[in-house]
Amino acid sequence: MGDEALLLVPGLMCDHTVWEPVMPALEARLRCTVVALADVDDLARMAHALLADAPARFALAGHSMGARVALEVLRQAPQRVSRIALLDTGYLARAPGAAGEEEARKRQSLLDLARAQGVRAMATEWVQGMVHPQRIADDVLIGRIVAMFERKSADTFARQIRALLGRPDASAVLGAIAVPALVLCGRQDSWAPVPQHQQIHQRIAQATLAVVEEAGHMAPMERPDAVSAHLLRWLDQD
């Protein structure tokens, strides 16, 4: 990897906290920077802002919405990305019809809760379906996730929801990837399940699919040792 940098992109209402558990292993190998996403309501604009501050060439890993931003980075400047890791994410636009309306309704319900009772109340409800069921009682893990969300405002949540509801289809971006690629998810990720990642994997000409056992959507925080091991193997790929 030489002096190449690795940019780590957090997801919806997340920050450096989601990547901190895997950073020690990664930083032993190369320079790592957790990207602070632009506080805007469009994934392409988030990607544009990331590129404005990024090195000329870099490795890129994104988690959840951060992986969707990473795909937009690839859409805008594929020549600058040396390798890509997509964790616990998706690639399709919002579904048309009833399914898409239901997604919007669920996201709006969480936003309404954040505005009425505060981001902490929203995060406490949201996290119930985002980790392995056995980790719900893990006060340390849950506390870190809720505190991470609480550092952001309901207005930021609203903008990020608009960005996700307006997300573009990234099928063509996946099909054009020609650098080492890792597709990873938790076995118990109910928000972005394993079959969804199998589809992503199939659309990339040469990619590695990794399923982390005993982990939900927040795999880097739930099983950092396993996620680190997969990321290190990805960094070793030519």
Any idea what the CATH number is for the domain that residue 30 is in?
Answer: 3.40.50.1820
Whether residue 148 has pLDDT greater than 70: yes
Q: What is the mean pLDDT of residues 164-175?
A: 98
Q: Order the strands of the 5-9 sheet from edge to edge.
A: 31-34, 5-9, 58-63, 81-87, 181-186, 207-212
Q: Which residues contact 15 (CB under 8 A, 6 or more apart)?
A: 34, 36, 148, 151, 152
What is the average pLDDT across 113-129?
Answer: 97
Model pLDDT, residue 3: 60
Q: How far apart are CA 98 and CA 146, in angstroms?
A: 30
What is the mean pLDDT of the segment spanning 153-172? 98
Rounded CA gap, 174 and 101, in Å?
26
Task: Tell me phi and psi for residue 85, to 5 degrees.
Answer: -125, 130
Instruction: Please answer whether residues 59 and 7 qualify as being in contact, where contact means their C-beta atoms are separated by less than 8 angstroms.
Output: yes
DSSP β-bridge partners for residue 207: 181
Number of structural domains the chain divides into = 1
Q: Which residues contact 108 (CB under 8 A, 6 or more apart)?
A: 161
| Nearest one of 20, 60, 47 to 147, comparing CA atoms | 20
Direct distance between the N- and C-terminal alpha carbons of the chain, in angstroms, rounded to an integer: 10
The reported pLDDT for the residue numbered 4 is 80
pLDDT, average across residues 59-67: 98
Q: Which domain holds residue 231?
A: 1-238
CA-to-CA separations, 142 to 119, 137, 210, in angstroms, rounded? 14, 8, 24
Residue 173 has pLDDT above 90, yes or no: yes
DSSP result, the chain: -TT-EEEEE--TT--GGGTGGGHHHHHTTSEEEE----SSS-HHHHHHHHHHHS-SSEEEEEETHHHHHHHHHHHH-GGGEEEEEEES---SPPPSHHHHHHHHHHHHHHHHHHHHH-HHHHHHHHGGGTS-GGGTT-HHHHHHHHHHHHTS-HHHHHHHHHHHHTPPP-HHHHHT--S-EEEEEETT-SSS-HHHHHHHHHHSSSEEEEEETT--TTHHHHSHHHHHHHHHHHHH--
Please give the average per-residue pLDDT across 3-32, as a whole number. 95
The pLDDT-based confidence of 94 (bands split at 50, 70, 90) is very high
Mean pLDDT of 74-99: 98
Please spell the DSSP secondary structure of 202-233, one letter per residue: HHSSSEEEEEETT--TTHHHHSHHHHHHHHHH
Q: What is the pLDDT of residue 84?
A: 98
Mean of the per-residue pLDDT values of the chain:
97
Each residue's pLDDT tens digit, 192-207 = 999 999 999 999 998 9
Please give the residue that has the higher pLDDT: either 4 or 119. 119
pTM assigned to the model: 0.96
